[in-house]
A = this chain, B = another copy of it.
């Protein structure tokens, strides 16, 4: 009932390798769009540098617990719930996990994802991955990422501006959720 799909087993990579602190770009994803395919490792490497800097900006450290959560979000192929975290990081107390999630969000590294069930999910911030949307299964709660074509996103961006402007509303971002039945729940 609370099956959120498979998740790669938590890689206990304790490699403390640290990258040279290049220019802080607002978006690793730019590299992807420009054609160069980053491996999971390269992305993760760069990501940890960004994470450390963004945390430091708010006088926070990139500790092992926080890093473990970030690595879990990187390796997961979909937004993760608190129970996913508990399952894959059993030695991380819940209170710490929740606090880390709050802190990581405050540092702009992760964001909350509202699913169709009662459980909040978390994923890397969009400027660390790429803008995308979600398929929400109304039966099992599973959340799947989907990336619409750029042309569609331009349409959406335009409509969002128009709708917001008409109400004196200052838009910051949008989210498009598609509700329905996932493949598993469908064939039943």
Q: Point out residues on A near B: beta carbons under 8 Å.
A: 114, 133, 135, 137-138, 144, 146, 148-149, 152, 155-156, 159-160, 163-164, 166-183, 186
Contact = CB atoms under 8 A, between A and B. Distances in A.
Nearest first, the 4 A-B pairs at minimum CB distance are A168-B183, A171-B180, A172-B180, A170-B181
Nearest to A159: B152
Contact of A175 (B164, B168, B179, B183): B179
A17 B115 CA distance: 41
B176 A174 contact: yes
A182 B171 CA distance: 8
A180 B159 CA distance: 15
Contact of A169 (B160, B174, B181): B181
Contact of A160 (B167, B178, B186): B178
B177 A174 contact: yes
12 contacts: A114-B114, A135-B163, A135-B171, A138-B172, A144-B169, A146-B164, A148-B163, A168-B182, A168-B186, A169-B181, A170-B181, A172-B181
Nearest to A135: B169
A167 B146 CA distance: 9
Most chain B CB inside 10 Å of its own CB: which residue of A144, A164, A171:
A164
A95 to B, nearest CB: 18
